[in-house]
Amino acid sequence: MIRPAILLTVLLTCSVLADNQQHSRVGNPRNYEVDILVDTFGFSQEDIDVDIDQVFQGCAGRDCIPSIDQPQFIPADKVDFLDPDDLVLSLTHAGESRAYPTRILDRHEIVNDRFGSTPIAVTYCPLCGSGLAFVREVGGVSGFLSGEEIPVHRMFWFAWFSFHPTTSLIDERNH
């Protein structure tokens, strides 16, 4: 008879501890100015499989990773800051070729560019190393993208330059 009583006591104690743990999350226990995971997206511990306090955010809100909105370019034959094996995202649109070094995109992730009168968004994810370009309507970093997708190539600078010697390249000194 004692065993069921012990089991009941253990279950009640666990229930009380769990209830207290949920109530201890009142306020801002993660100490972010804006807790995107909780406040913006509405996640709670019940929604994810890992301890919510072990999920860290890289920045606190919209536009915390600054986009390049008025890129400055230089001709490829004037580039003195890239090594031949540096990676670039590259594209050709309306007969014009451009290259965007990933070491610049690591810090910015989006370039709001123009090819003539056509607005283009060049996007890059440093976590997975992939990039896309769109004819765009964009509302800043973390905005919504829509429009025609443009093929983007990720390759070594020397390879792109050898096939597109008249390409323009984002000037690292201005970004």
DSSP letter assigned to residue 3: H
pTM passes above 0.75: no
- Give the whole-angstrom CA distance, residue 69 versus residue 63: 12
Model confidence pLDDT, tens digit, residues 145-171: 445 556 677 777 778 778 788 888 777
The position carrying tokens 């909105």 is 69
Q: How far is 157 from 138, CA to CA, in rounded Å?
A: 28
DSSP β-ladder status, 130-135 and 118-125: antiparallel
Q: What is the helix (H) or strand (E) element at residue 158, kind and residue range?
A: helix 157-163
Domain ranges of the chain: 2-54, 73-174
pLDDT digits (tens, 9 = 90+) for 87-101: 999 888 888 999 999
